[in-house]
Amino acid sequence: MFYRIRKNIVRPVLICALALAAAVMFMPCTASAAAVTQPGNAAAKAGITAPAAVSIRPSGARGFIIKWSSVRHAGGYILQVKLGGKWYNKYTFPADVYGAKIEGTCHNETHIYRIQAFRGSVKKSSFWVSARTSLSHRKNVSTVTISKTSLAMTAGQTEKLSASLAPSSNIVSSYKRWKSSNRKVAAVSSNGTVTAKAAGTAKIWCIAHNGKKSEKCTVTVTEPAP
pLDDT per residue as tens digits for the range 60-78: 888 899 999 999 999 999 9
The whole-angstrom separation of Cα 84 and Cα 19 is: 12
Contact 70, 119 (CB under 8 A): no
The CATH homologous superfamily for domain 3-131 is Immunoglobulins (2.60.40.10)
> CA 15, CA 109: separation in Å to the nearest integer?
11
Q: What is the CATH number of domain 143-222?
A: 2.60.40.1080
> CB-hemisphere CA count at 13 Å for 223?
3
Q: In the prediction, which pLDDT does 13 show?
A: 24
Contact 183, 221 (CB under 8 A): no
Phi, psi of 99, deg, nearest 5: -165, 155
Q: Comparing 3-131 with 143-222, is the CATH topology the same?
A: yes
Average pLDDT, 10 consecutive residues per value, the chain (226 residues): 49 31 29 33 63 93 92 95 92 94 84 95 95 90 96 97 95 95 97 97 97 95 91
Report CA dihedral (18, 23, 24, 28) to the nearest 10 degrees.
-160
Integer Cα distance of 51 and 19 in angstroms: 26
Contact call for residues 129 and 55 (beta carbons, < 8 A): yes
**Is beta strand 217-222 parallel, antiparallel or unpaired with respect to 150-154?**
parallel
d(CA 62, CA 28): 25
Q: Is 17 helix (H, G, I), strand (E, B) or coil?
A: helix
What confidence score (pLDDT) does residue 17 get?
30
Amino acid identity, residue 144?
A: V
Whole-number pLDDT of residue 46:
59
Task: Quote the CA–CA distance of 97 and 112 in Å, as a whole number.
Answer: 20
Supply the pTM of this predicted model. Answer: 0.75
What CA–CA distance (Å, rounded) separates 1 from 97?
5
Query: Are 188 and 161 a contacting pair, CB within 8 Å?
Result: yes
Q: Where are the domains of the chain?
A: 3-131, 143-222
Please name the amino acid found at residue 207. I
φ, ψ of residue 178 to 5 degrees: the values are -100, 145
d(CA 217, CA 200): 14
Q: Alpha-carbon distance 129 to 177, whole Å?
A: 10
